[in-house]
Structure 1
């Protein structure tokens, strides 16, 4: 059986879980909840970068992402940040939807699965 490693965990969640050669990244949000969609998206992607690096992975190894927006009115602005961040030669499978966030100040959240 492959070892399971949990990163930055508490009684409720782990920020990331490694099983075999796969990294599962839990929901990441921006740190400035007063920031606009551009700021929050950029900050959440920085969190993903840190978790990828800590597990020995990188953007081009991202396999799948789910992007959540509080409002689809922010879709174009979020995509501008996303397009600058993602490895366009090795893009992941992706879906994006609108959801009611746990905190109304959260505008963007991302989950990801990556190879290590």
Structure 2
């Protein structure tokens, strides 16, 4: 009986410790060290749409390389600070260069990130980013 009780406690401990991974860490780890490309609501002169190539560094910093959507020509690189909250929200801070972006309801599958985009806390629409 004592062996059965020890085995039961060992099983409970194994199950309990394996579920300690935080959802924040999973989303953060999925993004970190990768480049994700897509439309994050940037325009040149308010008319020409830009594509963002966001590099999420593992230290919470990164870059957003902006290219013209129509011909892919490089325009500029913006420095960012970013973080992942819960298992479905990404916050991107551009400092005083541009309003912050927040991706809510993040869903990632097969190298494709889908979310609701908020620019300066105002809903902007659904977006898709692709892992490069």
Structure 2-normalised TM-score?
0.24
Greater relative contact order (Cα < 8 A, sep 6+): 1
Q: Which has the higher helix share?
A: 1
The answer to which structure has the higher strand fraction is 2
Q: How high is the TM-score relative to the length of structure 1? A: 0.26
Question: Which entry has the higher C-alpha Rg, 1 or 2?
Answer: 2
